[in-house]
Amino acid sequence: MVAMNTAPPPVIQIRNLHKSYGSLEVLKGVDIAAPAGHVVSLIGSSGSGKSTLLRCANLLEDSQQGDILFSGEPVKWKGSGLARRPADHQQMIRIRTNLSMVFQQFNLWAHMTILQNVMEAPVTVLKRDRAQVEAAARGYLDKVGIGDKADAYPAQLSGGQQQRAAIARALCMEPRALLFDEPTSALDPELEQEVVKVIKALAEEGRTMIIVTHDMRMAHDVSDHVVFLHQGRIEEQGAPADLFTNPQTDRLRGFLSATMPA
């Protein structure tokens, strides 16, 4: 008998993705996959298409060509080219709520306490029981090391604490995957390490994550797979041990020599 392949489909799979802003083509046929429990890091120079790729995966941006699959389920499209849009609004909402995104600039609501920020989407979007959500939210704030800041407002927290609150907010949605868009680039080096520590702990738990990052050390330490984007295409990809120690292309060698600590 031939053994059946019973591996589940990747949580996120992107095939031949193209994305343009008018006549400017930003992604030129990109393929990535994030299997369950794996961490995929996207690295590359500013303007290489990393953040755009992440936003397309979460359907925050419309792509013009290619397939996006969530746990094997393809996104349904209508129209073509620059007029292409998701065809099923309910599917889009369901996928987005299962792909929690953590942004560079925290995006916390200033008029809400940290606890209220973390609870808001599960209660209002997912209609979950408020008492259960509060218990979960306090647990996630403890998890990221700011349980004592539940009643504080964002302006009373450091940048590192605000980003950790944003991670707790993402976790409280109980997503299938976490998407990080440059989660440490707005932080001072000391505060950056607070956030890196949390991301490393999530990786060790087996969380599925796609991380856009300029932090090569973090990409090396937490990733199962690293993708180097250059001008909208995948220039090189592989396991971090291979990619960082034995780059195959001049472009990646140049990029790493400019970004890796000596």
Query: Considering the domain boundaries, does residue 74 fall inside one?
Result: yes
Are 137 and 168 a contacting pair, CB within 8 Å? yes
Q: Can you tell me the distance from the alpha carbon of 101 to that of 181, in angstroms, rounded to the nearest whole number?
A: 8
The answer to whether 18 touches 64, Cβ cutoff 8 Å, is yes
Domain-located, residue 183: no
66 backbone φψ class: left, alpha, beta (φ>0; ψ -120 to 50): left
For residue 23, what are the domain limits?
Answer: 12-96+222-262
Q: Which of 62, 5, 59, 60 is nearest to 35 (CA)?
A: 5
Token couple for 82: 């620059």
Amino acid identity, residue 129?
D
For the four alpha carbons of 129, 102, 72 and 83, in that order, the dihedral sign comes to positive
- pLDDT digits (tens), the chain, 262 positions: 555 667 889 999 999 999 999 899 999 999 999 999 999 999 999 999 999 999 999 999 999 999 999 999 999 999 999 999 999 999 999 999 999 999 988 899 999 999 999 999 999 999 999 999 999 999 999 999 999 999 999 999 999 999 999 999 999 999 999 999 999 988 888 889 999 999 999 999 999 999 999 999 999 999 999 999 999 999 999 999 999 999 999 999 999 999 876 5
What are residue 106's phi and psi, to 5 degrees?
A: 70, -50
Q: What CATH number has the domain bearing residue 69?
A: 3.40.50.300
pTM reported for the whole predicted model = 0.93
What pLDDT was estimated at residue 4?
Answer: 61
Whether the Cβ atoms of residue 242 and residue 251 lie closer than 8 Å to each other: no
Residue 80, C-beta contacts closer than 8 angstroms, at least 6 positions apart: 64
- Residue 199 placed within a domain: no
Domain assignment present for residue 235? The answer is: yes
Residue 205 lies in a domain: no
- CA–CA separation, 185 and 102 (whole Å): 12
Does residue 250 fall inside a structural domain? Answer: yes
Please check whether residue 108 is in contact with residue 156, taking contact to mean a CB–CB distance below 8 angstroms: no
How many residues appear in the chain?
262
How many domains does the chain contain in total? Answer: 1
The C-alpha atoms of residue 53 and residue 232 are separated, in whole angstroms, by 9
135, part of any domain: no
Residue 125 domain-assigned? no
61: enclosing H helix or E strand: none
